[in-house]
Amino acid sequence: MKYLEFKYSGNKIEFENSVFGRETVKLNGRSVSRKYSVTGTSHIFKIGGDDFELKSTYKLFRDGALTLDLIKEESIVCSNSFGVNSRHRIAWMAIGFAIIYVVVRLMQ
């Protein structure tokens, strides 16, 4: 599911995230970083000769917001925060309950 698109110096940077936490960053349609994360992570990539970081921060149980910061040379170039699809929150809550159930059953 595509969440956000940044435009920078004629380049298109896209951020995608799946229900199971797979984050993908694309530069001009080409994947430049893939990671799994529940609470957020950093994606490092280059545009031309410049290093960039797309940092995701997910506050799953607080306000359900996902914040994305596009960083160049330790300065935030662009930032956006928005609510996450409720299906993602429900899926992670179900996974959490399933883990708790399994742990309790194993302890008995």
CB contact at 8 A, 71 and 80: no
pLDDT in tens, the chain (108 residues): 667 888 888 999 999 988 777 899 999 999 999 998 878 899 999 998 899 999 998 876 666 678 899 999 899 998 888 776 666 667 777 888 888 999 999 988
CA dist 6 → 21, 51, 97, 99, 106 (Å): 20, 16, 35, 36, 46
Triad 86, 87, 92: Cα angle to 5°? 100
27 contact partners, CB below 8 Å, separation of at least 6: 11, 12, 13, 45, 47
pLDDT value for 61 = 64
| Per-residue pLDDT at 2 | 60
Q: What is the pLDDT of residue 40?
A: 84
pLDDT of residue 70: 93
Structural domains present in the chain = 2-107 (2.40.128.180)
How much is the pLDDT for 20?
75
Amino acid 58: pLDDT: 81
60, 92 Cβ separation under 8 angstroms: yes
